[in-house]
Chains A and B, each alone.
Chain A
Amino acid sequence: MERFGFAISKGRQIDYDANSRHIAGYISEREPSFRVCIECGCCAATCTTGNFTSFSLRELHILLKRGENESVRENIKKCMLCGKCTLVCPRGVNTRNVVTLARQAFQKFPADAV
Chain B
Amino acid sequence: MQFDPFIIPFNIGLYFIVIYAVVRSVSWFGDLSRPDKLRLQRGFFGKAFGQSIKEIFLESLIHRKILKSNPRLGYMHMSLAFGWFLLILFGTIEADVFGAHHLNAPYKAIFFKFFNPEHGRMGFEAAFSFLMDLILAFILSGLVLAIIKRFSSRVVGIKKTTKLRVLDKIALTSLWLIFPSRLLAESFTSGAYGTGSFLTGSLGSILASFLPAQEMAYPFWWLYSLSLGTFFILLPLTRYMHIPTELFLIFARNSGIKTGDQPGAFREIQIYSCSSCGICIDACQLNFSAGITNIQSAYLMKGIRNNENVSDIAFNCLMCGRCDQKCPVGIELTPLRMLSRRAGETVENEQSIWQKYFPGRQVMLPVKPVSDPSYSWLKQEEPAKTDVIYFAGCMTHLTPAIKNSMITILEASGVRYNFLDEKGGVCCGRPLMLAGQDREARELINHNSQLIWKSGAHTIVTSCPICYKVFKESYYLDVEVLHHSQFIKNLIEEGSLKLNFLHRKVTYHTPCDLGRGSGVYNEPKDVLRHVARLLKSDFEDENSLCCGGSLGNMKISSRQKSMIAHDVATELTKGNPDILATSCPLCKKTLSAATTTRVADISEIVADAIVRTAIKKKLNEPVRKVKVAVDFHN
Contact = CB atoms under 8 A, between A and B. Distances in A.
B551 A96 contact: yes
B394 A82 contact: yes
Contact of A96 (B371, B395, B554, B557): B554
B554 A84 contact: no
Given A83-B551, A84-B395, A107-B368, A94 B374 contact: no
A53 B367 contact: no
Given A48-B424, A77-B374, A83 B394 contact: yes
Contacts of A94: 554-558
Contacts of B378: 52
Given A51-B424, A92-B558, A92-B559, A83 B431 contact: yes
Nearest to A33: B557
A36 B556 CA distance: 15
Please classify the interface of chain A as helix (H, G, I), strand (E, B), loop, or mixed, using the class held by over half of its residues.
helix
A10 to B, nearest CB: 32
A80 B427 contact: yes
B419 to A, nearest CB: 15
B435 interface: yes
Contacts of B344: 104
A114 B425 CA distance: 32
A108 B366 CA distance: 12
Contacts, number: 75
Which of B371, B431, B556 lies at the interface centre, i.e. has the most chain A CB atoms within 10 A of its CB? B431
Contact of B557 (A53, A81, A92, A100): A92
Contacts of A84: 394-395, 397-398
B595 interface: no
B472 interface: no
B367 A107 contact: yes
Given A83-B551, A107-B368, A46 B398 contact: yes
Nearest to B554: A97
Contact of A81 (B398, B435, B556): B435
B424 A77 contact: no
Interface in B541-592: 549, 551, 554-559, 586, 589
A88 interface: yes
Nearest to B433: A81
Contact of A52 (B367, B377, B394, B398): B377
Interface in B8-54: none
Nearest to B423: A51
A48 B377 contact: no
Interface in B78-102: none
Contacts of B374: 77-78
- What are the nearest 10 A-B pairs in CB distance? A92-B558, A77-B374, A80-B427, A82-B427, A51-B424, A82-B394, A81-B431, A83-B551, A97-B554, A84-B394
28 contacts: A48-B394, A48-B425, A48-B427, A51-B423, A52-B378, A52-B426, A53-B377, A77-B371, A78-B375, A80-B431, A80-B444, A81-B432, A81-B435, A82-B431, A83-B395, A83-B431, A83-B551, A84-B397, A86-B558, A87-B586, A88-B398, A92-B558, A94-B557, A94-B558, A96-B435, A96-B554, A107-B369, A108-B367
Given A77-B374, A96-B435, 16 more contacts: A52-B426, A53-B377, A77-B371, A78-B374, A78-B375, A80-B429, A80-B432, A81-B431, A81-B551, A82-B394, A84-B397, A84-B398, A87-B395, A87-B589, A96-B554, A100-B435
